[in-house]
Amino acid sequence: MKTNAFEVASRYIYPSIRRRLVEVLREKGLKQTEIAELLHITQSAVSRYLKMDRGALIDISAFPDVDREIAELAERILDERPGEYEIHSSLVKLSLEFLGKGYACTFHSQIDPEVNPVECRVCIELFG
C-alpha cells in the first residue's frame, strides 16, 4: 500500500465533501462571495470547486446518506454561522465516516493498485 487511508481522505475525500457542500450552498441561491465568507475560504476556492477544478474525483452525491449529512451541515452553517474550526471538524468527521463505511475502498484501489478492497478492512475496522 503506497497510499494510505489518511492520504486518500485528505487528498480526495475531504475536498470532494467540501465541493459538495459548496454546491449545496450554491443550490440555495448563495453567491460565491457569500459561500466563501460562510466557509472561511477564498472566493477563488469556491470558484474552483464549482468549476470542478477541485474535489471532483469522487461524486459525493452518489452516497445519499453522506449527501444528506452535507445538506444538514449546510443548513446549520446558514443558521448558526459556525467558525472555521467547527466547519473543518465537521468535514473531517464526514471524511472519516466515508472511510468507515467502506465507500472509498474501490476508489483507493484505483489510485493505488496494491490495495485489494476485498482483503483490506483497515478503514472499516478503524472508523466504522
Domain ranges of the chain: 5-127
**CA–CA dist 61, 57 (Å, integer):** 12
Residue 54's alpha-carbon distances to 68, 81, 113, 121, 122, in angstroms, are: 21, 24, 23, 28, 27
Enter the pTM of the model. Answer: 0.93
Name the residue among 63, 115, 118, 116 with its Cα closest to residue 94: 63
Looking at every residue in the chain, the average pLDDT score rounds to 95
Task: Report the percentage of the chain scoring pLDDT > 90.
Answer: 83
